[in-house]
Amino acid sequence: MENNRKEQERAELHRTIWNMANDLRGSVDGWDFKQYVLGMLFYRYISENITAYINAGEWEAGNTEFDYAKLSDEEAEQAREDLVKTKGFFILPSELFENVRARAKDDENLNETLEQIFSNIEASAQGTESEDNFKGLFDDIDVNSNKLGNTVVKRNEKLVKLMNSVGEMKLGDYKDNTIDAFGDAYEFLMGMYASNAGKSGGEYYTPQEVSELLTHLTLVGKTEVNKVYDPACGSGSLLLKFAKILGKENVRQGFFGQEINITTYNLCRINMFLHDIDYDKFDIALGDTLTDPQHWDDEPFEAIVSNAREVFGLTTRNRINKGFPGHTPLFLCPEIRAVRHRMAA
């Protein structure tokens, strides 16, 4: 019964996303437009995440009528410091997705409003432990791009449609879904756009079947690991398979990775949040793993996994294997190709 419900929820979610993408894309290339869809999905997620967290605390204290979304910004400011320590970020009630969406159609400067809100969210983490995980997350969501329209009016019309479409997605309470709705939406969007992007799509996204195979092979005989590492992590699908298969609580010290492409680096960090991985449980670095590895000082990782040949080539894979003494990496690129061959047959 539960499996049927999961499949129904997932199928409905995928239909909604597909219709939204077809309706909104217009003149924007699909591979580019995914940035706007995923960025707005992320904005909705963190808005609902912080609202649910604050509301739960108030309700447990007996204030059952409390709703953070209806609180004044002045009252909310009093909790900024504590919330940043706990959640890693802060959003004023007036800047929550649901409130901005409610005003969007009447906001002649919606593009500027969103640009300022995204800047404020990133700024809320500055000087804190979560700064690196939030810095630049919205860089690829250019609300002033001509790709959205050649006038401010047309760009804002597109942004209103985008907010409404993302707001109407039936993601429910992210704590109550039988599926990981936000994460599943991300994976479906990435898979859809990657398949249409041709060869370049593999740079961003490893198919779920391949990710699952690699993870199961890595975890033979294990029920938990200390850390998992991907030296060419892309958008993070391999890392997050460990959370899905083991349970994130059984990846004791978190998820680590490095990515050379800044757009993909941002997508990976967004992906972590959308799969409900707390900011202090992942460390994704930007840079070339071969010439400037960022995790040398971490203790040996119990699991290292990567679709490395797709990104670097066989020679580089061997160099990576030699470059991490004391670790036990598992690169199964020939197996990946075999799986893909069977899938294509």
List, for residues 130-143, the tens digit of each pLDDT value.
999 999 999 988 99
Q: Is the pLDDT of residue 19 over 50?
A: yes
How does residue 47 score in pLDDT terms, banded at 50, 70 and 90?
very high
Rounded to 5 degrees, φ, ψ at 254 are 110, -170
- Smallest Cα–Cα separation from 180: which of 188, 253, 15? 188
Q: Start-end ranges of CATH 3.40.50.150 in the chain?
A: 204-344
* pTM given for the model: 0.79
The pLDDT value recorded for residue 28 is 63
| pLDDT, greater one: 99 or 176 | 99
In angstroms, rounded to a whole number, what is the distance separating the alpha carbons of residues 144 and 228? 38
Q: Is the pLDDT of residue 10 over 90?
A: no
Token reading at 49: 């995440």
Token reading at 319: 């160099």
| pLDDT, greater one: 27 or 232 | 232
Percent of the chain's residues with pLDDT above 70: 77
Q: Is the pLDDT of residue 196 over 90?
A: no
The pLDDT value recorded for residue 279 is 92
Q: Is the pLDDT of residue 65 over 60?
A: yes
Angstrom distances, CA of residue 60 to CA of 63, 65, 86, 155, 280: 7, 11, 17, 43, 25
The pLDDT value recorded for residue 115 is 97
How does residue 77 score in pLDDT terms, banded at 50, 70 and 90?
very high
- Smallest Cα–Cα separation from 79: which of 65, 93, 66? 93
Q: Is the pLDDT of residue 311 over 90?
A: no
Q: Start-end ranges of CATH 1.20.1260.30 in the chain?
A: 2-196
Token reading at 101: 């969406």
**Polymer length in residues for the chain:** 345
Q: Which of 73-82, 147-156, 298-307 tops mean pLDDT?
A: 73-82
In angstroms, rounded to a whole number, what is the distance separating the alpha carbons of residues 78 and 110? 27
- Range from 35-39, 246-250, 307-311, 328-332 carrying the lowest mean pLDDT: 328-332
Q: Which CATH architecture fits 204-344?
A: 3-Layer(aba) Sandwich (3.40)
| pLDDT, greater one: 259 or 179 | 259
Per-residue pLDDT tens for 166-185?
Answer: 898 877 654 554 446 666 77
- Smallest Cα–Cα separation from 133: which of 259, 310, 283, 20? 283
How does residue 200 score in pLDDT terms, banded at 50, 70 and 90?
very low
- Range from 112-116, 244-248, 289-293, 329-333 carrying the lowest mean pLDDT: 329-333
Contact 92, 76 (CB under 8 A): yes
Domain 2-196 coded CATH 3.40.980.10 = no
The pLDDT value recorded for residue 227 is 93
The pLDDT value recorded for residue 172 is 61
Contact 97, 110 (CB under 8 A): no
Rounded to 5 degrees, φ, ψ at 299 are -65, 160
Tell me the average pLDDT of the chain.
80
The pLDDT value recorded for residue 204 is 52
Rounded to 5 degrees, φ, ψ at 304 are -125, 125
The pLDDT value recorded for residue 86 is 93
In angstroms, rounded to a whole number, what is the distance separating the alpha carbons of residues 229 and 304? 5
Mean pLDDT, residues 90-117 taken together:
97
- Smallest Cα–Cα separation from 39: which of 179, 160, 148, 143? 143
- The C-alpha torsion from 263 through 35 and 211 to 318, rounded to 10°, is -20
